[in-house]
C-alpha cells in the first residue's frame, strides 16, 4: 500500500538554492496535517520561510530534525494513512533515500536556467517553468527587483500552469542600456516580450511598479491579458516612499542596503546577508544606477507616482484582484480603498511590501484561483 505513503521533500526556492535547514516543525508526528497548513520553517542562505504541507494526511515521520541541513529534494517527512504499517514506512524511507542520489543528479541536470530574448534591441532575461498547456502566468517584478523575487511562487504555480518570470529592462540579468522607461514604454516592452515568445495572452501578476506595468498593458491591450493579480501595486495613488527609491538608487554600502531592504518587509529579520549581497552585486554592475535613475525619473518623478491608473479601472473588463500587505511602508495599502466593487481586494495582516515572499502560500492560492 505504498501508494498511501507521501514524501515531504525539501523545496527548491530560487535557482541558487541547493540546501535548506529545518528551523522548526509546526506539526508533531502522529498529528493530522491539512494540505496548505504550515508544516515547518525552512532557512536558506537568503531567507527563512514557512513551508506549507503540499499534501494532507497523518504526519507519520519527521525524518529531518530541527537544526539539520539537507539538500533540495531530500526527504523531510512522511505522510501516510494510519492503516500503513511502520515496516512499510521504513521500507519507503529506505527506497526513497537509495534513489534520491540518482534523482538529485538528474534534477540538477534538468534545473531551469534563465534564457534571454531580445526585445527592441535590448536583451531580456527570463525563466520558464511548468509544463502545463493553456494560458500561462507571467510574473513582473517591481523597481530594483528581479525574477528571483518570485522564488516562493514559481515552483508552486508551475505545478498547474506554464509560468514565465522576466527581468525588466535595467534589472537582473537584462540589458542595462534602457531607452524608453515610462510606464507606457515598459508595458510596450512587456507586450514585445510576450510577442517574442509567442505568448498570445497571459495571466499577469505584477508586483509594485510591475503591477502598474501590468495594469497599463491591460488598459492598452486588454486582449493580451487574461487576468490581473496586482501585488502592492504602483498606479493606484500618488504616494510612494521616496526615501526608499532614492536610497536604493544611491546605496553602495552594505549597511545602507540592509536598512533599505528592511523597509520592504513587516519582519526585518527576513533580510539576510545573502539578500543584501545579491542586491549590492546587482547595483555594482555598470549601467545599473543610470538605468534605475532614468526609470525612477519617469515613473516616480519628484517622489510621487506619475501614473495613477486606478480611475480607469471602471472601463476594464479583465478580471482583477489586488493583494496588499497591511504594513506596506513603500506604497500605502490605503491606495486599495475606494476601488470599484468588481475588484477583489485582499489585505494581508502582518505583511509588508513583499506579500509574494512574506505570505507566499496565500498569494500562490490567490493567483491559482484567478488563473483557473
User: Minimum distance between the CB of residue 173 and other proteins, rounded to whole angstroms?
Assistant: 8
Rounded Cα distance, 138 and 178, in Å:
21
Residues 236 and 324 sit within 8 Å (Cβ to Cβ): no
Can you read off the three cell numbers belonging to residue 140?
513582473
Pick out residues in 171-230 that bind other proteins (CB under 8 A): 173, 176
User: Minimum distance between the CB of residue 274 and other proteins, rounded to whole angstroms?
Assistant: 10
Can you read off the three cell numbers belonging to residue 353?
511590501
State the binding string over 244-283 for other proteins (x if CB under 8 A, else -): --------xxx------------------x-------x--
- 219 Cβ neighbours under 8 A, 6+ residues apart: 309, 312, 315, 316
Rounded Cα distance, 249 and 83, in Å:
59
C-beta of 273 vs 304, nearer to other proteins = 273
* Per CB under 8 A, 118 contacts other proteins: no
Rounded Cα distance, 297 and 274, in Å:
29
C-beta of 294 vs 368, nearer to other proteins = 294
* Per CB under 8 A, 91 contacts other proteins: no
C-beta of 123 vs 192, nearer to other proteins = 123
- 200 Cβ neighbours under 8 A, 6+ residues apart: 194, 224
Rounded Cα distance, 57 and 213, in Å:
41
Can you read off the three cell numbers belonging to residue 349?
495582516
* Per CB under 8 A, 284 contacts other proteins: yes
C-beta of 123 vs 303, nearer to other proteins = 123
Mark the segment that binds other proteins (CB under 8 A) among 207-215, 285-293, 295-303, 332-340: 285-293
Rounded Cα distance, 178 and 181, in Å:
7
State the binding string over 137-176 for other proteins (x if CB under 8 A, else -): ------------------------------------x--x
C-alpha 89, offset from chain centre: 34
User: Minimum distance between the CB of residue 308 and other proteins, rounded to whole angstroms?
Assistant: 35
C-beta of 147 vs 225, nearer to other proteins = 147
Positions touching other proteins (CB under 8 A) are 173, 176, 252-254, 273, 281, 284-287
Amino acid at each position: 500500500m505504498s501508494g498511501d505513503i507521501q514524501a515531504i521533500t525539501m523545496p527548491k526556492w530560487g535557482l541558487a538554492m541547493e540546501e535548506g535547514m529545518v528551523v522548526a516543525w509546526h506539526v508533531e508526528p502522529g498529528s493530522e496535517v491539512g494540505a496548505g497548513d504550515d508544516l515547518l520553517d525552512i532557512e536558506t542562505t537568503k531567507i527563512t520561510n514557512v513551508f506549507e504541507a503540499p499534501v494532507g494526511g497523518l504526519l507519520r515521520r519527521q525524518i529531518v530534525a530541527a537544526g539539520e541541513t539537507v539538500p533540495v529534494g531530500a526527504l523531510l517527512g512522511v505522510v501516510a494513512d494510519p492503516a500503513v504499517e511502520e515496516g512499510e514506512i521504513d521500507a519507503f524511507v529506505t527506497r526513497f533515500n537509495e534513489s534520491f542520489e540518482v534523482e538529485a543528479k538528474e534534477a540538477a541536470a534538468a534545473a531551469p536556467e534563465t534564457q534571454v530574448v531580445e526585445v527592441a534591441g535590448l536583451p531580456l532575461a527570463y525563466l520558464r517553468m511548468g509544463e502545463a498547456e493553456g494560458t500561462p502566468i507571467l510574473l513582473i517584478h517591481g523597481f530594483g527587483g528581479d525574477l528571483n523575487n518570485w522564488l516562493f511562487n514559481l515552483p508552486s504555480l508551475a505545478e498547474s500552469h506554464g509560468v514565465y518570470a522576466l527581468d525588466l529592462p535595467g534589472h537582473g540579468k537584462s540589458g542595462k542600456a534602457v531607452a524608453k522607461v515610462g510606464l507606457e514604454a515598459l508595458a510596450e516592452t512587456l507586450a514585445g516580450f510576450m510577442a517574442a515568445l509567442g505568448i498570445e495572452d497571459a495571466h499577469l501578476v505584477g508586483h509594485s511598479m510591475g503591477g502598474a506595468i501590468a495594469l497599463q498593458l491591460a488598459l492598452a491591450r486588454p486582449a493580451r491579458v487574461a487576468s490581473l493579480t496586482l501585488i502592492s501595486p504602483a498606479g493606484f495613488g500618488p504616494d510612494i516612499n521616496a526615501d526608499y527609491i532614492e536610497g536604493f538608487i544611491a546605496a553602495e554600502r552594505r549597511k545602507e542596503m540592509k536598512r533599505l531592504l528592511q523597509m520592504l518587509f513587516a519582519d526585518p529579520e527576513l533580510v539576510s546577508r545573502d539578500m543584501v549581497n545579491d542586491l549590492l552585486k546587482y547595483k555594482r554592475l555598470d549601467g545599473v544606477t543610470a538605468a534605475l535613475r532614468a526609470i525612477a525619473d519617469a515613473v516616480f518623478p519628484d517622489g510621487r507616482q506619475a501614473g495613477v491608473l486606478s480611475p480607469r479601472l471602471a472601463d476594464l473588463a479583465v478580471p482583477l484582484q489586488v493583494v496588499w500587505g497591511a504594513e506596506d511602508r513603500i506604497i500605502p495599502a490605503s491606495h486599495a480603498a475606494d476601488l470599484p466593487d468588481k475588484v477583489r481586494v485582499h489585505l494581508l495582516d502582518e505583511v509588508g511590501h513583499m506579500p509574494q515572499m512574506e505570505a507566499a502560500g496565500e498569494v500562490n492560492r490567490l493567483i491559482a484561483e484567478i488563473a483557473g
